Amino acid sequence: MSINQSGWRPEAPQTGNADAPTFTGNRALMLEEPLIFEIGSTETTGVDFDDSGAPAQGHKLGNLVRTAPIGLPGLSEPEAVRHYTRLSRQNYAIDLGLFPLGSCTMKHNPRLNEKVARLPGFADIHPLAPVDTVQGALGVINELAFWLIGLTGMYGVAMSPKAGAHGELCGILCIKAALEKRGEGHRKVVLVPESAHGTNPATAAFAGFTVEDIPATAEGRVDLAALKARLGQDVAAVMITNPNTCGLFERDMKAISDAVHAVGGYVYCDGANFNAIVGRVRPGDLGVDAMHINLHKTFSTPHGGGGPGSGPVVLSEALAPFGPLPFTARYEDGHIRLIEEETAGEDHPDSFGRMTAFHGQMGMFTRALAYILSHGADGLKQVAEDAVLNANYMLRSLDDVLDAPFGPSGPCMHEALFSDEGFAEGFTTLDVAKALIDEGYHPMTMYFPLVVHGAMLVEPTETESKAALDQFIGALRSVAARAKTGDESLKTAPHFAPRRRLDETLAARKPVLVWSDPALAQAAE
Ligand SMILES: *Cc1c(COP(=O)(O)O)cnc(C)c1O
């Protein structure tokens, strides 16, 4: 089948260089790729099947036998492979370059992790295999649990949650179960600082709590006095991110925990930013009752387009009995049991239930444990120190061209926060982000946290070299200077990307998620 038959118009309306349009719409290695439905037709097939003879009998398929064409495009193997390879080349990845997305900790995933995760004893087993046949895999879960408890100074850990937000829900459900057990289910308020990640209030609301804001001080930290003033018998918990989303350490964390405990509430810590303090601070020592850890951030397992997340939740002694099933326990003879029942006695009578059908993200557990063991406790401490050093290098290399609202508060933790203060009239953070795409970078996190106008949150992580940091700093300095002088070409950036400025509002409000065959649409008319 030729490309033209598939209805792909060889013109380059918004992508090509207007001065030198190409027949294909391609620009050298930047290939213009239509939808898979536009390349393959639903009338053709990429494979030869023998005629199956008698039509399938409806009753054998529960009367679900297909009566209409399936509507999938028929493609040969090379066509399908090329399609996805071409699309993958239009993506940005941590394996391609620095990924400064603040709060996301986009660090390099060491290839040793991948090698370990692919060992057949971990990769090819079934979650329902008898526990005696998978002691090694259960041992990985148990060993990782041991490390997470040790690094955080907590009492127990729920390994099964599958992302940070899922972990938040797990922690909040533990708090809910603990309150109900105490006969204090009437506590309905969860206090969340203004600068919180959006998942925090969403989690509390989803679990049936009422969310109330806690203001920040001028220096970007939780206002302890305002928090204390709001505490009372209706407060179930506070949810605090530490280090917070302004990239600052909450120095009053212990005082906050003590005040919350004094009125009978619990302290949830959003631990997504643990990378900045791993090996240096144990949240358990600060009075935290529950905290999720994003293995896919701190412990390098791939995320974003690169893989699933994993969000184990460490728990205090007060909350551990309410944690979800299943979990592992190592017996003195070395045998590892999988505790799956909430029966009374030696098992787990107060568990609130399950977060997942099985054990959690096994592939992420093996990667995270490989990462932890290859660093060792001293190496993990160095990770935190280098991550903070790199972020401060960013902050101080840019704060003469970009406004750093909390720069005067002292060093930052793992990420540097800038505002759009000082940009020329009409120039925005969005323009800066788009111009960074032309420079070959994924933009930083923008317009978050909400407490800063036009926020730009840059998190380099420890896995970048000084040369890589310097190149990014050079690019951002150049773009920032253009925003300040009001360079009009910034308003139409990106100039070199396959797509320019899309109507992002329309895309978000009215997403077109289903392809419909234009031929069918025409026939219907
Ligand atoms: C990433 C992140 C989350 C959510 O984690 P997911 O794994 O994406 O669900 C929550 N809070 C903060 C501060 C984060 O950075």
Contact 264, 258 (CB under 8 A): no
Atom of ligand 1 nearest to the CA of 105: 15
Residue 247 has pLDDT above 50, yes or no: yes
Residue 268 has pLDDT above 90, yes or no: yes
Burial of 389 from C-beta contacts in 10 A (0-12 / 13-18 / 19+): middle
Take atom 14 of ligand 1 and give the residue whose Cα is closest.
272
Take atom 1 of ligand 1 and give the residue whose Cα is closest.
104
Give the model confidence (pLDDT) of 166-195 as tens digits: 999 999 999 999 999 999 999 999 999 988
Residue 257 has pLDDT above 70, yes or no: yes
Atom of ligand 1 nearest to the CA of 296: 7
At residue 25, the pLDDT reads: 84
Q: Is 128 left (phi over 0), alpha (psi -120 to 50) or beta?
A: alpha
Distance CA 502, CA 507 (A): 8
Q: 381: CA distance to ligand 1 center in Å?
A: 22
At residue 343, the pLDDT reads: 63
At residue 3, the pLDDT reads: 37
At residue 4, the pLDDT reads: 35
Give the model confidence (pLDDT) of 423-445 as tens digits: 999 999 999 999 999 999 999 99
Q: Is 420 left (phi over 0), alpha (psi -120 to 50) or beta?
A: alpha
Q: 198: CA distance to ligand 1 center in Å?
A: 9
Average pLDDT over residues 482-511: 93
Q: Is 371 left (phi over 0), alpha (psi -120 to 50) or beta?
A: alpha
Take atom 2 of ligand 1 and give the residue whose Cα is closest.
272
Distance CA 46, CA 228 (A): 67
Q: 83: CA distance to ligand 1 center in Å?
A: 32
Which fold does the domain 379-509 belong to in CATH? Answer: Aspartate Aminotransferase, domain 1 (3.90.1150)
Atom of ligand 1 nearest to the CA of 270: 11
Task: Say which residue, 336 or 17, is predicted with more confidence.
Answer: 336
Query: Cα 91 vs. chain centroid, distance in angstroms?
Result: 17
Atom of ligand 1 nearest to the CA of 297: 1
Atom of ligand 1 nearest to the CA of 311: 7
At residue 128, the pLDDT reads: 93
At residue 48, the pLDDT reads: 82
Q: 344: CA distance to ligand 1 center in Å?
A: 35
Q: 272: CA distance to ligand 1 center in Å?
A: 6
Distance CA 277, CA 297 (A): 13
At residue 460, the pLDDT reads: 97
Residue 11 has pLDDT above 60, yes or no: no
From 107, 162, 170, 197, the mutation candidate for ligand 1 (largest count of ligand atoms within 8 A of CB) is 197
Residue type, 126: H
Distance CA 296, CA 161 (A): 12
Query: Cα 210 vs. chain centroid, distance in angstroms?
Result: 25
Confidence category of residue 349, pLDDT binned at 50, 70, 90: confident
Confidence category of residue 12, pLDDT binned at 50, 70, 90: very low
Take atom 3 of ligand 1 and give the residue whose Cα is closest.
164
Q: 343: CA distance to ligand 1 center in Å?
A: 33
CA-based nearest residue to 222, from 232, 210, 231, 213: 213
Q: 292: CA distance to ligand 1 center in Å?
A: 9
Atom of ligand 1 nearest to the CA of 309: 7
Residue 518 has pLDDT above 80, yes or no: no
Q: 197: CA distance to ligand 1 center in Å?
A: 7
Query: Cα 322 vs. chain centroid, distance in angstroms?
Result: 26
Distance CA 222, CA 241 (A): 10
Average pLDDT, the chain: 91
According to DSSP, the β-strands at 235-241 and 290-292 are: unpaired
Confidence category of residue 348, pLDDT binned at 50, 70, 90: confident
Confidence category of residue 57, pLDDT binned at 50, 70, 90: low
Residues enclosing ligand 1, CB less than 6 A? 103-104, 163-165, 197, 199, 241, 245, 270, 272-273, 294, 309, 311
Q: 164: CA distance to ligand 1 center in Å?
A: 5
Average pLDDT over residues 457-481: 98
DSSP element (H, E) containing 314: strand 313-315
CA distances from residue 423 to 184, 218, 406, 482, 494 in whole angstroms, order as listed: 51, 22, 18, 9, 18
Q: 296: CA distance to ligand 1 center in Å?
A: 10
Q: 103: CA distance to ligand 1 center in Å?
A: 7
Residue 13 has pLDDT above 60, yes or no: no
Give the model confidence (pLDDT) of 321-347 as tens digits: 999 999 998 888 889 988 887 665 667
Residue 512 has pLDDT above 70, yes or no: yes
At residue 303, the pLDDT reads: 87
Q: 190: CA distance to ligand 1 center in Å?
A: 18
Task: Say which residue, 278 or 59, is predicted with more confidence.
Answer: 278
Take atom 15 of ligand 1 and give the residue whose Cα is closest.
103
What 3-state DSSP class applies to 338?
strand
Distance CA 105, CA 257 (A): 26
From 270, 294, 364, the mutation candidate for ligand 1 (largest count of ligand atoms within 8 A of CB) is 294
